[in-house]
Amino acid sequence: MAQSKTNLITLGLSGKLGNTLIFSQRYGKTIVSVPPSYKPEQSEKQKAQRLKFQAAMAYAKAALQNPETKAAYTAAAKEGQNALNVAVADMMHAPVIHGINLDNYYGKPGDTILIKATDDFMVASVTVEIYDRNGGFIEGGNATANEKGTEWTYTATTGSDDFYGNKVTVKAMDMPANLSEKVQIITPG
């Protein structure tokens, strides 16, 4: 991709020149590139990626209609990016749950479960559900984020005397509602 210096011939040019060159404007600069070559047949993986990108574009355009959301995405944009780029990337990537720390959970009200979760933009919410070893629901609710929004704390509200073997399910969601889930069994030690 070539970038033009201030040049009266290409200044402000945009569009296609035959099947040879494409001119576009980006941040006040003229970008010259060759047209993409499309393969007529796409694999299922390529089709799925194209659909995912179309959904991301639709999300981004709708999200940027909200002034607060647009301001948040604009603030996160790095050099060469805009709010639309950040919103599309946010939709394309689900949060990642890096770990569930059960060191301070003993099946008593007030015990805490620590969760490390990140996203390319931000994790909007983290929820925790605790099930007994037979699959019966014990309790669940929202975790609270630290200042950076990368570590979350869930405080237990219900007791469970025999908590070893119980299952902790953590779900992390970002702004576009991408959901990640991680399960951990409570073991002694």
Which tokens go with 38? 């499309």
Q: Which of 24, 47, 51 is nearest to 35 (CA)?
A: 24
Q: Give the pLDDT of residue 23.
A: 84
Instruction: Find tokens 């959904």 and name the residue.
Output: 55
Centre a 10 Å sphere on the Cβ of residue 188 and count the other Cβ atoms it contains.
6
Q: Give the pLDDT of residue 139.
A: 95
Separation of first and last alpha carbons in the chain: 57
Cα gap 144→112, rounded to integer Å = 11
> Which residue type, as a one-letter code, is found at position 128?
V
Cα dihedral 79, 8, 33, 63, rounded to 10, equals 40
Q: What is the pLDDT along the chain (189 residues), one digit of tens a residue?
A: 555 455 666 677 777 877 788 888 887 788 888 887 776 788 899 999 999 999 999 999 999 999 999 999 999 999 889 999 999 999 999 999 999 999 999 999 999 999 999 999 999 999 999 999 899 999 999 999 998 888 999 999 998 888 889 999 999 999 999 999 999 999 886
Q: Give the pLDDT of residue 4.
A: 47
Q: Give the pLDDT of residue 116.
A: 97
3-state secondary structure of 169: strand
Q: Which of 107, 104, 122, 130 is nearest to 172 (CA)?
A: 122
Report the length, in residues, of the chain: 189
- Structural domains in the chain, CATH included, are 2-33 (no CATH), 44-92 (no CATH), 96-185 (2.60.40.1220)
For residue 59, which phi and psi values (nearest 5 degrees)?
Answer: -60, -50
